[in-house]
Chains A and B, each alone.
Chain A
Amino acid sequence: MVEFQFTEEQEMLRKAAREFAEQVVAPLVPKMEETDETPEEIIKGMGERDLLAVTIPPEYGGLGLGHVARVIVLEEVARVSVATAMMLQVFHLGIDPILVFGTEEQKKKYLPALARGERLATVAVTEATGGSEPTACQTEARLEGDHYVLNGRKVFITDVHLADVQVVFTRTGEKEFTTFILEKGMEGFRPGRYEHKVGMKGCDTGELILDNCVVPKENMLGKPGDGLKVALAGISETGREGIAGCALGLLQACLESSTKFANERILYGRPIAKLQGIQWKIAEMAVNLEAARLLTYRAAAMRDKGQRCDVEMAQAKYFVTEAAARAAKDTCDIHGGYGVMNEYAAQRYLRDAQVLIPSAGTSEIMRIVIARAALK
C-alpha cells in the first residue's frame, strides 16, 4: 500500500517547526540579511526546541523521529529562512557519520550533548580543489605514535565557526582516505575566514584551517581507509536529503508570496491573479511543489526503512532545487519592480535558490548519478 498522508504526530511536528520558524526565526531574518551574521537566538532556539535531536536515537538522548520528520522540519524552517534551514541541515549532516560509523564510545561521548543542542556539529569535506571530487583531497593526516597530525585547509564549510564537533575528511595515504572527529579547542584547529555567499545571508560559512592539528587515534571514524565511504554516505543520503528539504520550503514560500502578491496587486482595475500569464506561473509552482514533495518524502521514507536511497535522493535534490530556482525567478517576475526591492522577500528567494544548486553536489553531478543508475 502507498500512504500519502502524514501521521498525526508528523503534523504536530510540522506545527512545532512552523512555530519555531515564525516566532523565533522570522523576526531575525532582516538582521541576518543586513549583517550576514548568525544570531545567537537562532542557535539557542534550535537547541531548546529539540531541532537538533530529531535524527538521534533515544538511547543517545535524541528523539529518534527519523528522516521524514527531519525533512518536515527543514521544509518549515526554510519556508521562513533558507539560511537557518541550511545551518540546521548541516548540523544533522555532522551528526550522521558519528551515528552510522561511530564506535559505541564515540556515540556515547558526542551524541547526547549534540541532541541537547549544547554542542553543534558539522562536516568538512570540500577543499579549494572542489567538493565533488573528494579524492583530490590535499588535507593530510600523518600517524605519529598514538595520534594523527592533520594539515590542510577546508573551504565552504557550513557552520564552521559555530560547530564544536567537526567530522573532517583527510588523506592518509596515496589512495587512502580517513575521517576523524575533530573538536573545537584541539591544538592546531582553527576556523578561518568567513566566506560570504550571494544568498543565505546569516548562514555561517567559512574555512577550516588545520595547522599541525593533533588528533588522538580514537577519534578516527571507522578504520583507516574508510574515509570515502563515510564522506559519500553522508553527502549522498543526508546531505542531498537536507538540501531537498530546504528547497521544498523555499518553493512553498515562493508559491505563498506569489499568490499573495498576485491577489493584491491591482492592474487595470483587477488583481493580476486574473491574468492568464500570471496563472501559468502559479500553476507551474503549485505542481512542482507537489512533485517535489512526493520525490523528497518518498526518498526520506526509504531512508527511514533502511533502504538504499542515494539515487532517489539525487533525483529529489536535482528536481527540487531546480524547481525552486525557477519558482524564485517567477516569483520575482510576478512581483515586477518590487521583485528586485529589498523590502520584498522575492529577491532573497532568488539568491537563496542559487546557493542550493551547488550545495551537496551540482545539478550536473546529480544527473550523472541519476543517469548512471538509469543506464545500468
Chain B
Amino acid sequence: MQILVLVKAVPDPERANEITLDPETGTVKREGIPLVINPLDRNAVEEALRLKEEKGGTVAALSMGPPAAEGPLREALALGVDRAVLLSDRAMAGADTLATARVLAAGARYLGDFDLILCGAESFDGGTAQVGPELAQFLGLPHASYVTSAREKGGLLEVEAKVEDGRKKLQVRLPALLTVSRELNRPRGLSFSGIVRARGKKVEVLSLADLGMDPSRAGVAGSPTIIGDISTPTTTRSGEIIKGDPEEVVDVLVKKLTEAGVV
C-alpha cells in the first residue's frame, strides 16, 4: 500500500498561551514558539505506519510551510515514515485553505500515485477542517472526514466517522482520502532508535518551480479569502447578588436565567 500522510507544522499546543494576534495585519503571531506535528496529524501518521506494518508498502509525509517546518517532518521520519517532503516557497506564504490544498495537490501528484491519503481532520492552529476535503476534490478522490476507525477489505475501506450527533458507517473505494479524529488510534511515541534510524534521511524541499506551478495560484495571490477582521474574544463576568427571602430569590433567579436564554 502506498500511503501519503499530510503533516502540518503548528505551534506547540503546550505553549498556546504565547500565541497572540496582530489586529493591524490580521495575522497570528507565533514567533519563538517551537513547531510540532499537528496533534491530529500524529494520529494520521500512526494509522499510516500501522497499515504499512500490516500490509507492507511505503509511507510518505508531505507538508507545506516555512523552512522551520522541516523540524516536524524530521520527527515524522523518526517516527518511521520513509520519505518526507516539504513544499516551501516565499510565494506559498499567506495561503488560505484553497491555495494550500492546490499546492498540496501539486505536491501529491509530483510524488506519484497513492492508494490512501491520510491527514488530521483539522489543524490545531487554523482549525478550518477544509484542507483535507479540498485536496480530495483537487485529486478527484473520494473522502471521509473525522474518521474514528478504518478497515481495509478487498479494495474497500470500511470506515466509521463522527458526525455532529453521532457516528456514521460508510464504505470508501480506494484510492481515497481520510481525515482522521483522535479516537482513531493512540499515536506511538518518538523512540530513540527511531531517531537514530532516521539519521541518514533528509527532508526533501520543493519550490513552486519544482512543482511547475504558477505563483499566481499559490500563497496570498492564489487565495480568494480576505480576512475582514481578527480579534481576541473578550469575556466579561459580572456578579449580582439577589436579596430577599428564598422563594422570592428563586423566582427572580429563574426569571433572569430565562431572559439570558440559559434555561
Contact = CB atoms under 8 A, between A and B. Distances in A.
Contacts of A31: none
Interface stretch (B108-116, B157-165, B186-194): B186-194
Contact of B75 (A15, A23, A24): A15
A291 B192 CA distance: 27
B193 A20 contact: no
Nearest to A19: B189
B196 to A, nearest CB: 5
A99 interface: no
B199 A63 contact: no
Contacts of B75: 12, 15
Interface in A47-66: 48-51, 53-54, 63, 65
Nearest to A45: B189
Contacts of A50: 191-193
A339 to B, nearest CB: 24
Given A12-B74, A12-B75, A15-B75, A65 B190 contact: no
A16 B199 contact: no
B206 interface: no
Nearest to B186: A23
Interface string A1-36: 000000011001101100110011000000000000
B195 interface: yes
Contacts of A19: 189-190
B193 A63 contact: yes
A16 B74 contact: no
B25 to A, nearest CB: 29
Given A9-B199, A15-B75, A53 B192 contact: yes
Contacts of B194: 16
Contacts of A65: 192, 196
B87 interface: no
A227 to B, nearest CB: 32
A13 B192 contact: yes
Contacts of A53: 192-193
Nearest to B196: A63
A49 B189 contact: yes
Contact of A49 (B71, B192, B196): B192
A23 B188 CA distance: 10
Interface residues of A, number: 18
A24 B190 CA distance: 12
A63 B78 CA distance: 14
B78 A48 contact: no
Given A12-B78, A12-B195, A23 B189 contact: yes
A48 B191 CA distance: 8
A8 B75 CA distance: 11
Contacts of B74: 8, 12
A54 B191 contact: no
A287 B199 CA distance: 34
Contacts of A63: 192-193, 196
Nearest to B75: A12
Interface in B166-208: 189-196, 199
Contacts of B189: 16, 19-20, 23-24, 49
B43 to A, nearest CB: 14
A49 B191 CA distance: 5
A91 B253 CA distance: 63
Contacts of A51: 192
A53 B197 CA distance: 14
B86 to A, nearest CB: 15
Contacts of A8: 71, 74
A343 B78 CA distance: 37
Contacts of B196: 63, 65
B190 A15 contact: yes
Interface string A314-353: 0000000000000000000000000000000000000000
A20 B191 CA distance: 9
Contacts of A15: 75, 190
A53 B192 CA distance: 9
Contacts of A16: 78, 189-192, 194-195
A16 B195 CA distance: 9
Interface string B192-231: 1111100100000000000000000000000000000000
Nearest to B199: A9
A241 to B, nearest CB: 18
A258 to B, nearest CB: 17
Nearest to B71: A8
Interface string A58-92: 00000101000000000000000000000000000
A15 B195 CA distance: 11
A373 to B, nearest CB: 34
Nearest to A15: B190
Interface of B: 71, 74-75, 78, 189-196, 199
Interface of A: 8-9, 12-13, 15-16, 19-20, 23-24, 48-51, 53-54, 63, 65
17 contacts: A8-B71, A8-B74, A9-B195, A12-B75, A12-B195, A13-B192, A15-B190, A16-B78, A16-B192, A19-B189, A23-B189, A48-B191, A49-B191, A49-B192, A53-B193, A63-B193, A65-B196
Given A49-B190, A53-B192, 6 more contacts: A12-B74, A12-B190, A16-B78, A16-B191, A49-B189, A63-B196
Leading 7 A-B pairs by shortest Cβ distance? A16-B190, A50-B192, A19-B189, A50-B193, A49-B191, A12-B195, A63-B196
